[in-house]
Structure formats: C-alpha cells, structure tokens
Amino acid sequence: MMYIAIVIGVFILMEGFTWCVHKYVMHGFLWCWHKDHHNPEHDKKLERNDYFFVVFAIPAIWLLYIGSRTELGLLFFIGLGIAIYGMAYFFVHDIFIHQRLKIFKHTDSPYLKAIRRAHKQHHKHRTKEQGECFGFLWVPLYYFKMYFKK
C-alpha cells in the first residue's frame, strides 16, 4: 500500500515539476528546443521539443533499473511514478491534444475539453515570453469552469 501511495504521490508531484520546467526551462534557457513546438508550420513528425521526452525518460529508466536490482524498492516506485506520468503526458499531450496520431479527436469530457482549451491558449503565444497555462493535467480553474458548468 505504501508503494502505491509513493507512485501516486510522485505522479502528482510531477505536475508541479513539469509546470516549473515548462515555464522556466522550456520557455527559458532551452527555448531553442521548445520553440518549434510553438510553430504551427512545422511538419509535426519530430520536433526538437521531443528531446525533453528523452531527458525525462533517463532518470525514470535509471530509477526503475536501480530500484529493481535486488528487490523492488523505493527507487523503483519513484521511477514508476515518473514513467506513468510520462506515458500520461504522451497520450494526452501528443496524441489527444496535438493529434500526432489521428485518434481521440472528439471528446465529451469537460475535463479533457478544459485541458485542450488551456493548451490552445498556451500555444497562442509564439515567443517564450508572455506565456500562460504551463500545466499539463491541472490548468487554471477558469478553463474547468468553462466546461463543467454546461
């Protein structure tokens, strides 16, 4: 039970970590990797922004490996929480929001509509300045209110 709580806790903490990395790293000193993601003219196959997937996968894989060498310990479950968050990010951000695979185009879920709308607001800004909505699974309440009151 403790390990399940660790996985869930790490998953939740990853949202705050991702928000900070998105705002201060991706829209900061590593904008050179992230800016093609804000360019609507790119071909949408591979982006420099995809480097972040690899950067985040390395510690998750390392923690899973180290944590599984003897018995499944704390490091394994921390790595598992990070890996599950990464998978959720891929499915929601890359597949559902950006349609890198043409599936899950339509939804009646107010939650998913709110996330999609907030992300659209984020992409309305083409430069690293003046950004908004840096979250992934949790966005400003305004967007949730737009869809949950209907």
Q: What is the pLDDT of residue 42?
A: 67
Q: Residue 81 domain-assigned?
A: yes
Contacts of 122 (CB under 8 A, 6+ apart): 131, 132, 133, 134
Average pLDDT of each block of 10 consecutive residues along the chain (150 residues)?
Answer: 95 95 93 86 78 93 93 93 95 84 82 88 80 84 82
| Strand, coil or helix: 17 | helix
Q: Count the domains in the chain.
A: 1
Q: What is the pLDDT of residue 43?
A: 67
pTM for the whole structure: 0.87
Q: What is the pLDDT of residue 123?
A: 81
What phi, psi does 138 have (nearest 5°)?
-125, 120
Q: Residue 18 domain-assigned?
A: yes
Q: Residue 82 domain-assigned?
A: yes
Burial environment of residue 81 by CB neighbours within 10 A (0 to 12, 13 to 18, 19 or more): buried
